[in-house]
Amino acid sequence: MNMSNIVRTGAVLLFPFILVYGFYIVLHGHLTPGGGFQGGAVIATGFVLLFVAHSYESITKRLPMNYFKNSETLGLLLFIITALIALTLGVTFFGNWLVNSGGLFGDVVAYGPNPGNLNTAGIIPIMNLAVGIEVLGAMSIILLYMLSGIKEDI
């Protein structure tokens, strides 16, 4: 059972803007309010909008359930591998091994509040990105499993 044409077109038109806003919240997690969990929840809201507007068969034809399972696994692996690399470099588990290194996310912040330089804070943006990917997969898969139980001939 599909929803009406207006609902389906509106969901497809609204989807990219929700995606951009969610990734903005994830990537600015160390500077502004929000972070991995909140941004992931916003991205999952965009996917859920698509799921509610379409039927289960037409969704899983374009976006198989394996995509979301894989994104969940990828986020968790990125999180724990980033934490384990710190052990091999001689700092503690979850030690911030990228901060002030000069490279990726390694700029030195002057004393006082950060005026908005995104390229700071070491491994914290990487952790935010991992949590965002993981929450996006987990919350989408909850609704996809729920949608799979509906008998479509009602």
Partner 1 sequence: MIEVLIQLLILVGLIITALLVYKFQDLLSAAIAFGIFSFLLSLEFFILQAPDVAIAEAGIGAGLTTAIFIVAIRGTQRNEEAE
Which residues contact partner 1 by CB under 8 A? 1, 25, 33-35, 37-38, 41-42, 44-45, 48-49, 51-52, 139, 142-143, 146-147, 149-151, 154
Beta-carbon contacts of 65 under 8 Å, excluding residues fewer than 6 positions away, are 141, 144
Q: Tell me the C-alpha distance between 86 and 45, whole Å.
A: 34
Q: In the bound complex, what is the minimum distance in angstroms from residue 149's beta carbon to partner 1?
A: 7
Q: Which CB, 52 or 104, lies closer to partner 1? A: 52
Q: Which CB, 11 or 130, lies closer to partner 1? A: 11
Q: What are phi and psi of 103, to 5 degrees?
A: -100, -125
Burial class (CB in 10 A: 0-12, 13-18, 19+), 111: exposed
Q: In the bound complex, what is the minimum distance in angstroms from residue 67's beta carbon to partner 1?
A: 18
Q: How far is CA 50 from the centre of its chain?
A: 16
Q: Which of 94, 125, 96, 120 is nearest to 109 (CA)?
A: 120
Q: In the bound complex, what is the minimum distance in angstroms from residue 128's beta carbon to partner 1?
A: 13
Q: Which CB, 38 or 96, lies closer to partner 1? A: 38
Q: Which CB, 110 or 153, lies closer to partner 1? A: 153
Q: In the bound complex, what is the minimum distance in angstroms from residue 91's beta carbon to partner 1?
A: 28
Q: In the bound complex, what is the minimum distance in angstroms from residue 34's beta carbon to partner 1?
A: 5
Q: Which CB, 43 or 98, lies closer to partner 1? A: 43
Q: Which of 105, 93, 96 is nearest to 27 (CA)?
A: 105
